[in-house]
Chains A and B, each alone.
Chain A
């Protein structure tokens, strides 16, 4: 007897007023992740889109390897790599219109870069020179969010506000598999469904929340199944299939834009690297598992499809790789320069008008810096960069 069949055994007969709101069946995700590459559906995809996804994946992979290298050189404090998950990151960026908003978590730097954000600005949080290195409004990219799932209600609120103002704007919020256990995940999905907010939730299920595997995270058949309890559709997609992620997200965004409300999309993928450069993944997973997933690499999948259909020539591959190298070289060079920091910035943006208490502390720091300068003038060095504006 299934759980659904058992239900009548403990639920009392509903009074006449009871009316189930919707048939949950259309909301349920498919049993297996949706795929496009290697299936007949691939023939329906615009070749130009496939080639664009390919170029972005190659660029994204190079971005991940370059950022990881920067941690080894001490130029980045920490980097949570999205190697293996590039298809989700790139698709998330490409499905949005300029006016739409992206709500990334800390692993989604690549999505922000693929949306057009300067790679150095995207990395300030992880380098440590400021928490957010860009104007969120300018790029319609919310600050990279470190607490888990707390950006999801922000996405709901923004999408709701946009609709109240009559704007044709959709918010796409990214969260990991671990984040789905947080209370804010529940509250965000519930608000979104009740308000029919134009928001799409993309869960990148990469198998682990640091070291904790999905089986210890949830007892649900899939994370996409969680949607049905909120009254929104859930979609399950192969997160390494860039064409499939792009298609499913595009449909969900079109649905939201048309007033259909939110969708929960679970992309099944894998984090090839450790949680961050500070993590030892060998303690919680075996090489064989990682190698299996390497065999389902998002770039290789797309490359295979393009080659089979004669859409990829050597010139296209070379161009994609050269573009990625140019980006990496530029990133390397700019990240190797010391950021120019103004210590007085510590007080600049706490309140619109600093309190008298902050003004006193600001005066104290200025005096400390002046004393350091005076001491340094007697020596060769200087405590800070020139032109720091104080």
Chain B
């Protein structure tokens, strides 16, 4: 067995590498957005793409999100595969009409004649001390729109694999990038990027018997940390990383909850009308007779995203997750 020289890579680098490899493999892939060219993106995710592929392939657009996504629709209609960047979660809102009225429905309204293979990259979520409008978790809006795929990686390898899969998808994908994981590192072989598998599959990040933490994106490392801390309490927690909110992997989630009998959904976005309500309902419908306790939610508060000096009180942390786990009526299990 040959020794492979593993190198550390950040999630931001993995995302950039995914776009680079996709552009090299397919001349129809175009990256566009505000600041993605010369600057390489405000998070440097698109660093080097304009230099390598030219400004026609990696384009600094005017500052206008509806225009960015609207022109991407036309480009996709002509056979290109646009990868658009929305720079920050709350900056995407001006583009919602294009997203909901056109991007999500074009395949459907044309009876399959005109699919739109557009990837919409949205850096999302808090934890980086961003000022107002730079930390929203808007996944519930995207999940509620039929016709969109909604994907969010939690690891460096998934950032690469899921973005490659999203760009290759013939359907529009809202690709949510957890901002606070941009600088998280993992080792990989730069000559052999991680595997690309179809989007829509959840993965068990940590096996356990006591309860399942169902989570995604920025909350995955927090749940893994909580699971380690829970060992001191004698709790053996399983952590399921959804990776894809749409399509939703009922199979993996249900199988885990049936094994453990207890579940907590963890995410940053608000609880009311948030993803956790949908997930808890689906788990309850499928696993009711296996459940030893109600499915609980640990989420952000139902407030506009707080100012950065207060965000640590808003974001679900290890303690809040452990509190919820403690409310799962453990005594009934012994």
User: Which residues of A are interface residues toward B (Cβ below 8 A)?
Assistant: 130-132, 135-138, 142-143, 147, 150, 152-162, 164-165, 171, 183-184, 187-188, 190-191, 194, 345, 348-352, 355-357
Contact = CB atoms under 8 A, between A and B. Distances in A.
> Most A CB atoms within 10 A — which of B67, B69, B80, B112?
B67
Given A153-B70, A158-B77, A356 B110 contact: no
Given A153-B71, A154-B71, A157-B78, 15 more contacts: A137-B77, A150-B101, A153-B66, A153-B69, A154-B77, A157-B76, A158-B78, A160-B71, A188-B71, A190-B67, A191-B62, A349-B110, A350-B146, A350-B147, A355-B246
B75 interface: yes
A138 B77 CA distance: 12
The 9 closest A-B pairs by CB, nearest first: A157-B74, A153-B70, A187-B67, A157-B71, A131-B109, A158-B74, A161-B78, A355-B247, A154-B74
Contact of B74 (A143, A155, A350): A155
Contacts of A131: 105, 108-110
Contacts of A153: 66-67, 69-71, 73-74, 98
> Most B CB atoms within 10 A — which of A162, A187, A350?
A187
Interface string B121-152: 00000000000000000000000001101000
Nearest to B147: A350
Contact of B110 (A143, A158, A355): A143
A147 B109 contact: no
B107 A350 contact: yes
Contacts of A345: 111
Contacts of B106: 143
Interface string B32-63: 00000000000000000000000010000110
A191 B69 CA distance: 11
B180 to A, nearest CB: 29
Interface residues of B, number: 47
Given A157-B71, A157-B73, A357-B247, A349 B61 contact: no
29 contacts: A131-B109, A132-B111, A136-B110, A137-B77, A142-B77, A143-B106, A143-B110, A147-B102, A150-B102, A152-B70, A153-B66, A154-B71, A154-B73, A154-B74, A156-B71, A157-B70, A160-B71, A164-B56, A187-B66, A190-B64, A190-B67, A191-B71, A345-B111, A350-B146, A351-B149, A352-B169, A355-B246, A355-B247, A357-B248
Interface string B243-277: 00011101100000000000000000000000000
A135 B111 CA distance: 8
A251 B61 CA distance: 28
> Most A CB atoms within 10 A — which of B97, B111, B146?
B111
Nearest to A346: B108
Contacts of A352: 107, 115, 169-171
Contacts of B77: 136-137, 142, 154, 157-158, 161
B190 interface: no
Nearest to A155: B74
B72 interface: yes
B94 interface: yes
B62 A190 contact: yes
B72 A355 contact: no
